[in-house]
Structure 1
Amino acid sequence: MPSINDMTVGSPTRDIIKFAVPLVGGYILQQMYLIIDAAIVGRFIGVDALAAVGASSSIMFLIMGFCNGSCAGFAIPVAQEFGAKDYSKMRAYVANALRIVAVIAVVITVVTAIFCERILRIVNTPEDIFHDAYVFLLLSFLAIPFTMAYNMLSGFIRSLGDSKQPFYFLIAASLLNIVLDFILIIGLGMGVEGAGIATMTAQAFASLLCWLYIRKHLRLLIPTGNERAYDDKKVGRLLMNGIPMGMQFSITAIGVIMLQSANNALGTVYVASFTAAMRVKYLFTCVFENIGVAMATYCGQNIGAQKVERIKLGIWSAMKITAVYFVFTLIIIYPFADDMMLLFVESGERNIIDNAALYMRLSSYFFPALGLLTILRYSLQGLGFSNLSVLSGVMEMIARCGVSLWLVPTFGFLGVCYGDPTAWVAADLFLAPAVYLVYKKLKKVRK
């Protein structure tokens, strides 16, 4: 089956790059259509609408972080059993993971939709943008089942080492999203509601493409007979991998919510600045994030194959890749940060442009810390130590809360700019010794 990629043999650097490149391309496409959403909203509707779209971004990071993190965790036993070549057991994990995801998606969608208004109050959403923020957030919550379906199905595909097909599906979904943006926002004048509907439709389309691909080309993943049966032990293992990963993202998001709440209290101009900067920042940080995702599959397959020595080689290779990419980001971000913000607002909005560019430049200086964080965290998750990744999320949360409580009231938006860098460094201080001790333990057990 040509689309399957065994990462337990060959050059670790080649394996990681081969797997990560389609992931990065897919993530860039996701961020591009989010940027286009924001650009169309900011340019054709106005600054207030741009602020409304971004006012709840930390809330979506909390909710979707849990959903997507859980899906990534549920895919780890699938990758491990694939590495061990136990395909029947792998398919049994697929069947039970789908049950869990269906329940989580329904529960979270219902609860978040009911409490949508209260959530926006909690994060100090300004009154002048409250209605639009509510509409956009509610539509985002209603899209949760489609988003989880895509992340789970694409996670299964990636567990077999195939990161290309999900990338192709995102290309199609991104193009659909862009077309719908122009039709709904500009053509029909639907405002932020149009942006929400376009994103929801694109997510549903991407998940459908994943399902059709698995049914036609990756029948190795489709459970049959007794493999479809509910299994307490397998559900327990899936939950032990998935829930800690979801919680890790959610715990991290608590700090992000605190930071955004402090920023929202500064006023609509700063909300718009934060929204523009975050959209561009995610475009650059996706490389670090997806090298980390590649490490989860790489480590999962190699620990399943009991090739402990390849894990260390893979971590060092990933660190070298991120170091090279960091140099590239400095060359682009430092001179052109101001120009990037013109995607979202007119050149006369100097306060928004200056604030957003400052945020981008300060964040970029700390990208090596982010690269180390993603490599070590996802490696732990792939090895089955998701509990340690949760603790790294706690470190991030504490750091962001500290910035929100002390730096932002004193330094204003400058304090907001140091929120992410402080969190990344705090997490690294925990992760570096944790990974070292885990690797020593695995080597000892292997011997």
Structure 2
Amino acid sequence: MVVFMEKQAQPLNKMGTQPVQKLLITMGLPMIISMAVQAIYNIVDSYFVSKIEGIGDEAMNAMTLAFPVQMLMVAIGVGTGVGINALLSKSLGEGDREKASRIAGNSIFIGLCMFIIFFIFGIFGTKTYVLSQTKDPFITDLTSSYLRICCCFSLGVSMYMTFEKLLQATGKTMQSTIAQIAGAVANIILDPIMIFGWLGLPKMGIAGAAYATVIGQFISFFMDAAFHFKYNKAEFSTSLRYIRPKLKIIREIFAVGIPAILMQALMSFMTYGVNIIFAQVSAEAVTAYGVYYKIQQFVFFAAFGMNNAMIPIIGFNYGMGSSKRVKDGIKYGMIYTIAIMMIGAVGLQIFAQPLINIFTLSDKTHELCIAAIRIITLGYIFVGANIAYQGILQALGKGVHSLVLSAVRLLIAALPAAWILVQTAQDYIWAAFPFAELLAFIIALFMMKSVDRKVIKAIPERETE
């Protein structure tokens, strides 16, 4: 009875009261804006690196080779964050303040462990990793220098992603957006200063880009942490005593988080695999893929912003036991995500040429980038549906289903298709990506049919609106 009264006394969270159609927009828009700013910073980062005198193409190639490890850092942070987000929002929906406090504290502990792992890799593993993709000594040195800085100072990225998810799980998306924008803007400002040696600083080249990146990440970390301790205390205790690890809580976080980590990490593995496969075509093909990837982040990040809004909304209402609100979250989340991808596909088709012209690239790399945009965007409607399905499955506790879907998209279909096209039709190597998305979409339809029958229809018809 005491526990029941504690739960009933919890203040109503907007995720359980506001109309879902509106809520997805009000929560998703700040995330979309923040991720769009993140994409802009990635573009600006690459722009300045491409302008390094005499080595623009080589520097861009180095960043492409380093990118899988950076993506892996993000994958572990985001994937763990999915577990945090789903478990925390569900606990809040159930009114369990004590468990929510322990989830938040253990999340910070996990973030610190992430940093230690990548710090050790930065000291001992970067050179071996780079040599697995290229034997060019100059590019090896460039990549190792850049990557070592990013890994050894990865406390910023690991902790900012942790606090960001804690804010998002309680609906504080505006605060997390402000922090992310502040870090991205700082990165953009510092890039030319540190790369080219402005304002009396030494000219650091590609290492300057790495330092600008980690400084921006630390700014986001400090701001997210400040917002967390100020605003989330209304939802649960933010006391640092909850950092003490609890195996049961960590196990629950990773029950959803490990499939999500693996799912996010698949993008890193795919990029690593694509780098190796496309190297059989040319170094320009590898660089072109890296440039295309930075450009497509404008669209993908917007879709994942909506995905990040769907997960806590669906998870909260699933925990609260509201069938209608769960179904509304699925319906409108799918509609909005597909719309974002279709608008992005049209925009990239129209503006492919001016977007590629931003970078200083060789003629061959430029031509390959245009071909990548023209072909890959044809599959964006399937990308939108697949991203939405991944978020839906995660929110409903079906992390393994989401992992399988992501594995088909990024590894099981994409890499073999890319390898076959490299051997048989090199002009169409980019077609591997829309093919993989189509296959994953078909599989997702069968998955959701089963989940709808076993999970969604089993939710009690208890409405709050």
Alignment of 1:256-335 (within 5 A): 256-335=271-350
Alignment of 1:34-45 (within 5 A): 34-45=42-53
Q: Are positions 1:365 and 2:375 aligned together?
A: no
Amino acid in the other structure paired with 1:259: V
1:33 to 22, 35, 41: 41
What's the RMSD between the two structures over aligned residues?
2.2
SS in 2 for 1:165: helix
**1:425 maps to what in 2?**
438
CA shift in 2, pair 1:253/1:69, >3 Å: same
CA shift in 2, pair 1:228/1:124, >3 Å: closer
Counterpart-to-counterpart distance in 2, 1:75 and 1:299: 11
CA shift in 2, pair 1:48/1:307, >3 Å: same
Q: Are positions 1:75 and 2:85 aligned together?
A: yes
Amino acid in the other structure paired with 1:124: T
Cα deviation, 1:35-94, whole Å, max 9, x if unaligned, reads 111101112332221221122223332343133212222232111111222222211111
Unaligned runs of at least 5 residues, structure 1: none
**2:144 maps to what in 1?**
134
2:249 to 230, 234, 256: 234
2:219 to 199, 205, 208: 205
Alignment of 1:65-144 (within 5 A): 65-124=75-134, 126-144=136-154
Paired residues of 1:308 and 1:442 also in contact (CA < 8 A): no
Cα deviation, 1:7-37, whole Å, max 9, x if unaligned, reads 2233222111111111111111111111111
- State the 1:310 CA deviation: 2.0
Amino acid in the other structure paired with 1:103: C
Counterpart-to-counterpart distance in 2, 1:389 and 1:324: 21
SS in 1 for 2:51: helix
2:392 to 356, 361, 379: 379
Cα deviation, 1:160-180, whole Å, max 9, x if unaligned, reads 112111111122112211221
**2:459 maps to what in 1?**
446
Q: Which runs of 4+ in 1 moved over 6 A?
A: none
With 426-435 and 122-131 compared, the bigger mean Cα shift is at 122-131
Unaligned runs of at least 5 residues, structure 2: 1-11, 461-465
Cα deviation, 1:171-218, whole Å, max 9, x if unaligned, reads 211221122112111223211000000001100110011111222233
CA shift in 2, pair 1:229/1:254, >3 Å: closer
Q: TM-score scaled to structure 1, two decimals? A: 0.92
Counterpart-to-counterpart distance in 1, 2:226 and 2:258: 27
Counterpart-to-counterpart distance in 2, 1:384 and 1:377: 11
Paired residues of 2:307 and 2:337 also in contact (CA < 8 A): no
**1:179 maps to what in 2?**
189
Counterpart-to-counterpart distance in 1, 2:435 and 2:150: 29
Counterpart-to-counterpart distance in 2, 1:263 and 1:19: 39
Q: Are positions 1:158 and 2:168 aligned together?
A: yes
With 332-341 and 318-327 compared, the bigger mean Cα shift is at 318-327
CA shift in 2, pair 1:303/1:185, >3 Å: same
SS in 1 for 2:397: coil
- State the 1:252 CA deviation: 4.3
With 403-412 and 272-281 compared, the bigger mean Cα shift is at 403-412
Counterpart-to-counterpart distance in 2, 1:331 and 1:386: 32
2:414 to 388, 397, 400: 400
Q: Are positions 1:21 and 2:29 aligned together?
A: yes
SS in 1 for 2:151: helix
- State the 1:403 CA deviation: 2.1
Paired residues of 1:22 and 1:163 also in contact (CA < 8 A): yes
CA shift in 2, pair 1:398/1:86, >3 Å: same
Q: TM-score scaled to structure 2, two decimals? A: 0.89
SS in 1 for 2:52: helix
Give aligned pairs, total. 442
- State the 1:101 CA deviation: 2.5
CA shift in 2, pair 1:268/1:227, >3 Å: closer
CA shift in 2, pair 1:374/1:39, >3 Å: same
Counterpart-to-counterpart distance in 1, 2:293 and 2:180: 21
Amino acid in the other structure paired with 1:407: L
Counterpart-to-counterpart distance in 2, 1:192 and 1:354: 25
Alignment of 1:45-56 (within 5 A): 45=53, 46-56=56-66
Counterpart-to-counterpart distance in 2, 1:167 and 1:226: 27
- State the 1:436 CA deviation: 2.4
Amino acid in the other structure paired with 1:240: A
